[in-house]
Chain A
Amino acid sequence: MSIFLGYAATILVFFFTYNIFTLGLNIQFGYAGILNFTVITFMAMGAYFYAVFVMPRADTANQVYYILGLHWPWPLAMIAGVVASGAVGYLIGLIALKRLRSDYLAIVTLATGTLIYGLAGNQQHLFDGWAGLFNVNQPFQSVATNSPNEYSWILVLISGLLMLGVWWFANRLYSSPLGRSMRAIREDQEVVDAFGKNTFKIRMLAMVIGCVIVGLGGILTIQYIGALSPAGWTTGETFVVWAALLVGGRGNNLGSIVGSLLVAVVFNEATRYLPQVSSNPNLIPDLRNIIIGALVIGVLWFRPQGVLPERKPKFFEVPLTNTIATEDSDSRSIATGAGA
């Protein structure tokens, strides 16, 4: 029974953290149309900075190196972690959110992700290189050592509460004036510019808020696992979050939750128990990546709005509106999409 309970706790934490990642990406891409191709880098930044703030000084005698090592209490370290991932997002936004085609934004995020990945791996003194950080302090650690079975449920509670908070915030943001501006920029940035809005600032806000939320998910991940190395945040992981968002329905927070349930939990858990092929141990993870990539391409072909499409707001119809004209403007808004 306790094995089953432990498994259930793992699944729940996993589900909640993936919800947080997907909600964060939804604010960036679903709301504001920002193509962030390195979501997982912000997860890693949140996790790493949480770790170096919460852990004691590095044990250099045992060849373990990392920066800081301030041994702060975990709630303070969590704040430091989200601030750090937000700051990295801000720096990338400074370069990428200028008035450029969305290709450039995608290239800059991808390039920065590759760069940070290389730095984190090759620079042993930053976050212990390829070995990664381990033995990261967890919240309520005394419980963890005394009764590890009950302990999982504390983390279920923490991640569940944080997920609810993010969910509440994302929904508030969606219908707020700021959220409406973000969605207007997604549809047509030039129109929003013409209305006198500072579109750079609004897109930057979406970028930073999204990165902070993804960083929060990263902190929960490292709190649960207690370790993170560069092998845990490759491009494939970024794509899992993208797949969850696109399958669920971009622009729709409920869709993000359905998507992370389907992709991150059901699909990943279902493939976890496939038998390992001894001659090719990477076969199953590789196949999983292929299927995730193909799934996204398939969804964009057959149902680009996702399982739960974003609900278009209904306004009072002006009686004299020409129906042909409305159809026209509808199809144009789809055609421009987020590609401005």
Chain B
Amino acid sequence: MTLFLLTVGFGIVTASVLSLLSVGLSLQFGVTNYVNFAYGSYLGVGMMVAYTLSGTFHLPFVLSVVLATLITGLVAVLISEFILDPFARRRKSLFYMLIVTFGLSLVLDNILQIIYGVGFVEFPIAQSSPVQIGPFSFTKVQLIIVAVAIVAMVGIHLLLSKTRLGKAMRAMSDNADLARASGIDTRSVTRWTWFISGCLAGLGGIVLALNIVSFQTASGDAMLFVIFAAVILGGIGQTYGAMLGALVIGLVTETSVVYISSAYKQDVAFVVLILMLLVRPQGILAARGKA
């Protein structure tokens, strides 16, 4: 039982990491209506830029994280402006976008690999010892990860429910043509969506790297289908569904360690993904017309 509760604690940390990542992917899918297969590479951009800023340029770690998050958002906007958005407007068919983002992941991954190589690196911060909170045991870094995720999720909630941008994003997600006809500047909304999605990918990549301690450029890609599992579980394009999916996947993958070898952690996420696709492919919170 103690062991189980301990893994529930780890599950909460993983769910926090996943919530950032899956909300970023889901938000963008909702607005642009295609899956971004290069998302894993955006994680790599975030963690590697943060590594460069803090390790090579010796900036304070928190500042590096903030800068790396914004830079990843900027990269996402630039890629959307110059490659993805022109494609989406020129070629209406969905499969173009899927192949283009798939190709993009190959390009980005290999650019990162040329710059950083394939070796594992670590952030230049001291490893803290675990603190006991009730039945759980967290390191200081893990507590910060959970706090960051909670703040980000509340922020996303406020953005979607209270701001004009958030309402426009939800309108586009429901029906892009109707949103355009109602006078919403869909190109500007798309641009902002990519920025937020990129920022969440960058930040999520950094906290993922903090959680696994030593990481390489491909660590983000290794996470990609766990993110997909969380997103599909919650209902693709559904932001709150993505949060729910992240919580479920995070808890299930971590607590599975009690029963089976931790080498199969990711395979558990895969099993959940497959079961979900077979039983309820539209996800827990279904969006109409998106399955």
Interface string of B250-278 (1 = CB under 8 A from A): 00000000000001001100100110011
Whether B95 lies near A338 (C-beta < 8 A) is: yes
* Alpha-carbon distance A339/B96, docked complex (angstroms): 8
Residue in contact with A297 in the complex, picked from B103, B114, B266, CB distance below 8 Å: B103
Contact, CB under 8 Å: B114 / A102: no
Stretch of B86-94, B158-166, B171-179 that contacts chain A = B86-94
Cα-based distance from A63 to B104 in the complex (angstroms): 40
A18-60 interface mask toward B, CB cutoff 8 Å, 1 = contact, 0 = none?
Answer: 0000000000000001010100000000000000000000000
**B274–A106 contact, CB under 8 A?**
no
Whether B37 and A106, one on each chain, are in contact in the complex, defined by CB atoms closer than 8 angstroms, is: yes
Taking CB atoms and an 8 Å cut-off, the chain B residues in 105-135 that contact chain A are: 105-107, 109-111, 113-114, 117-118
Q: Which of B90, B107, B114, B274 contacts A283 (CB 8 A)?
A: B114
Query: Is A300's beta carbon under 8 Å from chain B?
Result: yes
Q: From B282, which residue of chain A is reached at the shortest CB distance? A: A100
Closest residue to B266 on the A side, CB-wise? A118
Q: In the complex, A112 Cα to B266 Cα: how many Å?
A: 11
Contact of A339 among B95, B274, B291 (CB under 8 A): B95
CA distance A281 to B35 in the complex (A): 33
Given known contacts A110-B225, A289-B106, A293-B106, A35 and B98 CB-to-CB distance under 8 angstroms: yes
Does A164 lie at the interface of the complex (its beta carbon under 8 Å from any beta carbon of B)?
no
Answer yes or no: B99 CB below 8 A from chain A CBs. yes
Report the minimum CB–CB distance from B107 to chain A (whole Å). 4
A109-120 interface code vs B (CB 8 A; 1 in, 0 out): 011101100110
Q: Can you name the residue of chain B whose Cβ is closest to the Cβ of A101? A: B291
Q: Are B98 and A102 in contact (CB under 8 A)?
A: yes
Majority SS of interface residues in chain B? helix
- Give min CB distance, B226 to chain A, whole Å: 9
Compute how far the CA of A301 lies from the CA of B89 in the bound complex, rounded to whole angstroms: 11
| Interface size of B as a range | 35 or more
Q: Tell me the residues in window 243-263 of chain A with beta carbons closer than 8 Å to chain B beta carbons.
A: 246
Chain A positions within 8 Å of B114 at CB level? 280, 282-283, 286-287, 290
Q: How far is the CA of A98 from the CA of B280 in the complex (A)?
A: 12
B225 lies within 8 A of A293 (CB) = no
Q: What residues on A are CB-neighbors of B109 within 8 Å?
A: 289
B110–A335 CB distance below 8 A = no
Residue of A at shortest CB range from B106? Answer: A293
Is there contact, CB below 8 Å, between A304 and B225?
no
Contact of B106 with A95 in the complex, beta carbons under 8 Å: no
In chain B, what residue has the closest Cβ to A235? B106
Q: Is the CB of B99 within 8 A of A242?
A: yes
Q: Is the beta-carbon distance between A95 and B278 smaller than 8 angstroms?
A: yes
**Is there a chain B Cβ closer than 8 Å to A269's Cβ?**
no
Contact A338:B93 (CB < 8 A) given known A95-B277, A106-B98, A286-B114: yes
Q: How large is the interface on A (under 10, 10 to 19, 20 to 34, 35 or more residues)?
A: 35 or more
Point out the residue from B94, B106, B278 that lies within 8 Å of A236, measured CB to CB. B106
Residues in B whose Cβ lies below 8 Å from that of A103: 34-35, 94, 98, 236
- How far does the Cβ of A263 sit from chain B's closest Cβ, in whole Å? 13
Instruction: Verify if B192 is at the interface (C-beta below 8 Å from A).
Output: no
With A98-B281, A122-B263 already in contact, the answer to whether A300 and B96 are too (CB < 8 A) is: yes
Whether B93 and A290, one on each chain, are in contact in the complex, defined by CB atoms closer than 8 angstroms, is: no
Q: In the bound complex, how far is the Cα of B278 from the Cα of A98, in angstroms?
A: 8
B281 touches A104 (CB 8 A): yes
> Residues 201-222 of chain B: 1 if any A CB is under 8 Å from the residue's CB, otherwise 0?
0000000000000000000001
Query: In the complex, what residues of A have CB within 8 A of residue B151's CB?
Result: none
Question: Given that A289-B106, A335-B93 are known contacts, is A110 also in contact with B37, CB under 8 Å in the complex?
Answer: yes
Q: How far is the CA of A283 from the CA of B113 in the complex (A)?
A: 8
**Contact, CB under 8 Å: B291 / A294:** no
For A220, list chain B residues within 8 Å (CB): none
A334's nearest neighbour on chain B, judged by CB, is B93
| Chain A nearest Cβ from B290, distance in angstroms | 7
**CB 8 Å contact bits of A121-151 with B (1 = contact, 0 = none):** 0100000000000000000000000000000
A residues near B244, Cβ cutoff 8 Å:
none
Q: Which residues of A contact B147 (CB under 8 A)?
A: none
CA distance A282 to B111 in the complex (A): 11
Asked if A296 CB lies within 8 Å of chain B CBs, one says: yes
Q: How far is the CA of A304 from the CA of B93 in the complex (A)?
A: 11
Q: Is the C-beta of B51 less than 8 angstroms from some C-beta in chain A?
A: no
Residue contact A108 to B35, C-beta cutoff 8 Å: no
Residues 22-38 of B contacting A (Cβ, < 8 Å) = 34-35, 37
Please, which residues of chain A bring their CB within 8 A of the CB of B95?
A: 33, 35, 102, 337-339
B113 CB → nearest A CB, Å: 5
Asked if A13 is at the interface (CB within 8 A of a chain B CB), the reply is no
Chain B residue with the shortest CB-CB distance to A114: B225
A292 in contact (CB, < 8 A): yes
Contacts of A111 in B (CB 8 A): 225, 228-229, 270, 273
Q: Say whether A304 contacts B118, CB under 8 Å.
A: no
* Nearest A-chain residue to B93, judged by Cβ: A337
**Residues of chain A with a CB closer than 8 A to B236's CB:** 103
The answer, yes or no, to whether A74 is at the interface (CB within 8 Å) is: no
- B residues in contact (CB < 8 Å) with A: 34-35, 37, 83, 86-87, 90-96, 98-100, 102-107, 109-111, 113-114, 117-118, 222, 224-225, 228-229, 232, 236, 263, 266-267, 270, 273-274, 277-278, 281, 290-291
Seed contacts A107-B232, A287-B110; 8 additional CB < 8 Å A-B pairs: A35-B98, A95-B278, A104-B291, A108-B273, A292-B103, A293-B110, A296-B103, A297-B103
Of the A-B pairs whose beta carbons lie under 8 Å apart in the complex, a sample of 6, sorted by A's number, is A100-B277, A239-B102, A242-B103, A282-B118, A293-B103, A337-B96
> Which 10 residue pairs spanning A and B have beta carbons closest together?
A339-B94, A337-B93, A293-B106, A293-B107, A111-B225, A293-B103, A339-B93, A286-B110, A289-B110, A296-B103
